[in-house]
């Protein structure tokens, strides 16, 4: 079936939805293609057994490792993308993240733009996602043109006590910047939001924030259940002419003058590679041979700080972080990463990560006295770390980097927790099955020979093709990337508007 639009956006996650919001008032016919459906409310939405032990919302899609093994990657496919399950943390990259700098095991190449170039777009992205925060509490926070528009999400009493213990231990806890409407979230059920699906309005995810804003315009349309197979070009291979997608078993061809790919770092790379043709035999936008390369996936560890003498009475918990080791570790002199609270870990959540035969009463007992933390270190770009296709199947070859720095971050965090009065500290480092902010497969740069898109997220090879998701991030930094993706999408939107 043949259809036409002015602008086609593939993917309704943070990057795609934010771009749609940025262009909605142009009056152009904008069609968003999303492979998933709307996430419906159900009892399982706040059921920690269904979510964490039974995997009720997980996709059954498998990827292959380069060794031939198959695994479930933990990605979600719904309207709003992975943001439906995100922890709602919307950090700005630190100013230092945009600059080249050495790490314990390698070099971060920096960005072709400075933090100051993206700062105005960060400000607009925070407004769009209604980010709650408090300026001046985090020494690593970059300069800002305006304060947060909403006050920080308050600590619960148990977390306020943890804050005091951490301060006494010599670190500087600061509020997490959060896209959460706390009371609306808790009105649905008294749970945390980290890894819980958002089936209402409490979490300002891609659907609730920018997508809802875009769809308020009659010229913007969302097609769900649309699995995009490939992009077509003209005979020159320099202009995208149509997106071919399947819906309900029927093949559709959607023509447009401008296309934006925002399906996620892995799926966007796979789509571009799958769209190879006689003129572009290695895939679209790939004259640099960089599509699919430089895959990054944060080095992450869950840490449980346990104090048998005190009870964790928190419901949502996720309000604190500390960045004392982010830019400069006093022992090694190198950047190590971010330490932030996880959502409150219940006995049922904990049991999902313990040996199968662990009795529930034991996981409940441990969780009653435990505080969960998420440790994140930068994964450095490496062209050999990449996404490829094998007979149409996504193949992942993730070359982990900078793990020595991550081990040092674990060591420092253990010492902090023990000094703060937590005698038992347990850690679990995550592997490739954990979707820890995948990025980097279509990197942004000024040189078409070594990058895929320009600083405006426009393909160097195809003038009417943009990529506006985590694919374009030149570095992973060591904080959650959602706000940076949104800021880049807003910046790309301004560039497209100028072209229109």
| pLDDT tens per residue, range 109-164 | 999 999 999 999 999 999 999 999 999 999 999 999 999 999 999 999 999 999 99
Q: Region 7-26: what's the mean pLDDT?
A: 98
* Residue 394 pLDDT level (bands cut at 50, 70, 90): very high
pLDDT at residue 432, rounded to an integer: 64
* Residue 233 pLDDT level (bands cut at 50, 70, 90): very high
pLDDT at residue 483, rounded to an integer: 98
CA separation for the pair 179, 57 (Å, rounded): 22
pLDDT at residue 434, rounded to an integer: 61
pLDDT at residue 68, rounded to an integer: 85
> What pTM did the predictor assign?
0.97
pLDDT at residue 471, rounded to an integer: 98
pLDDT at residue 435, rounded to an integer: 62
- Domains of the chain by residue range: 5-498
159 close to 167: Cβ distance less than 8 angstroms: no
321 close to 174: Cβ distance less than 8 angstroms: yes
pLDDT at residue 171, rounded to an integer: 98
pLDDT at residue 10, rounded to an integer: 98
Q: Region 81-86: what's the mean pLDDT?
A: 96
Name the percent of the chain lying above pLDDT 90: 94
| pLDDT score of 433 more than 70 | no
Q: What would the 3-class secondary structure string for the chain be?
A: CEEECCEEEECCCHHHHHHHHHHHHHCCCEEEECCCECCCCCHHHHCHHHHHHCCCCCCCCCEEECCCCEECCCCCCECCHHHHCCCCECCCCCHHHHCCEEECCEEECCCCCCHHHHHHHHHHHHHHCCCEECCCCCCCCCCCCCCCCEECCCCCHHHHHHHHHHHHCCCCCEECCECECHHHHHHHCCCCCCCCCCCCCCECCCHHHHHHHHHCCCCEEEECCCEEEEEEECCCCCCEEEEEEEECCEEEEEECCEEEECCCHHHHHHHHHHCCCCCCCCCCCCCCCCCCCCCECCEEEEEEEECCCCCCCCCCCCCEEECCCCCCCCCCCCCCCEEEECCCCCHHHHHCCCCCCCCHHHHHHHHHCEEEEEEEECCCCCCCCEEEEECCEEEEECCCCCHHHHHHHHHHHHHHHHHCCCCEEEEEECCCCCCCCCECCCCECCCCCCCCECCCCEECCCCCEEECCHHHCCCCCCCCCHHHHHHHHHHHHHHHHHHC
Give the mean pLDDT of the chain. Answer: 96
pLDDT at residue 73, rounded to an integer: 85
pLDDT at residue 352, rounded to an integer: 92
Topology of the domain comprising 5-498: FAD/NAD(P)-binding domain (3.50.50)
Instruction: Burial-class residue 107 by CB neighbours within 10 Å (0-12, 13-18, 19+).
Output: exposed
> What pLDDT, in 10s, does the model give residues 179-206?
999 999 999 999 999 999 999 999 999 9
pLDDT at residue 280, rounded to an integer: 96
* Residue 335 pLDDT level (bands cut at 50, 70, 90): very high
Q: Which residues pair with 424 in a beta bridge?
A: 306
Name the percent of the chain lying above pLDDT 70: 99
In terms of pLDDT, which residue wins out, 282 or 70?
282
pLDDT at residue 34, rounded to an integer: 98
């Amino acid at each position: 079936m043949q259809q036409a639009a002015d602008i086609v956006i593939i993917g309704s996650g943070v990057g795609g939805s934010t771009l749609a919001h940025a262009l909605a008032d142009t009056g152009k016919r904008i069609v968003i293609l999303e492979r998933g459906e709307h996430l419906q409310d159900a009892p399982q939405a706040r059921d920690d057994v269904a979510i964490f032990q039974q995997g009720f919302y997980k996709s059954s899609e498998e990827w292959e490792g380069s060794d031939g093994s198959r695994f479930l990657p933990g990605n979600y496919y719904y309207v709003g993308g992975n943001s439906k399950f995100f922890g709602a943390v919307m950090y700005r990259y630190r100013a230092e993240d945009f600059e080249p700098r050495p790490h314990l095991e390698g070099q971060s190449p920096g960005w072709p733009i400075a933090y100051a170039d993206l700062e105005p777009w960060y400000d607009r992205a925070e407004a769009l996602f209604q980010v709650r925060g408090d300026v001046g509490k985090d020494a690593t926070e970059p300069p800002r043109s305006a304060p947060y528009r909403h006050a920080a999400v308050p600590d619960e009493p148990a977390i306020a006590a943890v804050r005091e213990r951490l301060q006494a231990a010599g670190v500087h806890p600061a509020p997490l910047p959060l896209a959460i409407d706390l009371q609306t979230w808790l009105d649905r059920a008294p749970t945390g939001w980290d890894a819980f699906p958002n089936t209402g309005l409490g979490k300002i995810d891609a659907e609730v924030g920018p997508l809802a804003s875009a769809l308020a315009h009659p010229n913007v349309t969302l097609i769900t259940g649309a699995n995009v197979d490939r992009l077509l070009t003209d005979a020159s291979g320099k202009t995208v002419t149509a997106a071919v997608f399947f819906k309900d078993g029927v093949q559709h061809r959607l023509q447009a003058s401008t296309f934006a790919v925002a399906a996620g770092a892995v799926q966007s790379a796979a789509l571009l590679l799958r769209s190879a043709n006689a003129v572009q035999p290695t895939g679209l936008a790939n004259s640099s041979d960089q599509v699919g390369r430089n895959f990054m996936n944060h080095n992450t560890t869950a840490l449980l700080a346990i104090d048998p003498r005190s009870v964790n009475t928190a419901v949502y918990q996720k309000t604190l972080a500390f960045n004392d080791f982010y830019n400069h570790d006093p022992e090694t002199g190198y950047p190590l990463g971010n330490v932030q609270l996880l959502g409150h870990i219940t006995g049922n959540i904990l049991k999902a990560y313990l040996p199968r035969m662990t009795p529930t009463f034991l996981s409940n007992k441990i969780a009653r006295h435990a505080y969960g933390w998420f440790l994140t270190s930068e994964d450095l770009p490496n062209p050999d770390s990449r996404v490829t296709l094998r007979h149409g199947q996504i193949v992942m070859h993730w070359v982990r980097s900078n793990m020595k720095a991550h081990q040092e971050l674990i060591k420092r965090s253990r010492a902090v927790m023990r000094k703060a009065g937590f005698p038992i500290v347990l850690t679990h480092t995550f592997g490739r099955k954990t979707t820890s902010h995948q990025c980097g497969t279509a990197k942004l740069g000024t040189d078409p020979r070594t990058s895929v898109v320009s600083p405006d997220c426009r393909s160097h090879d195809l003038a009417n093709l943009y990529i506006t998701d985590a694919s374009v991030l030149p570095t992973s930094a060591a904080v959650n990337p959602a706000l940076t993706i949104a800021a880049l999408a807003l910046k790309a939107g301004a560039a497209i508007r100028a072209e229109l």
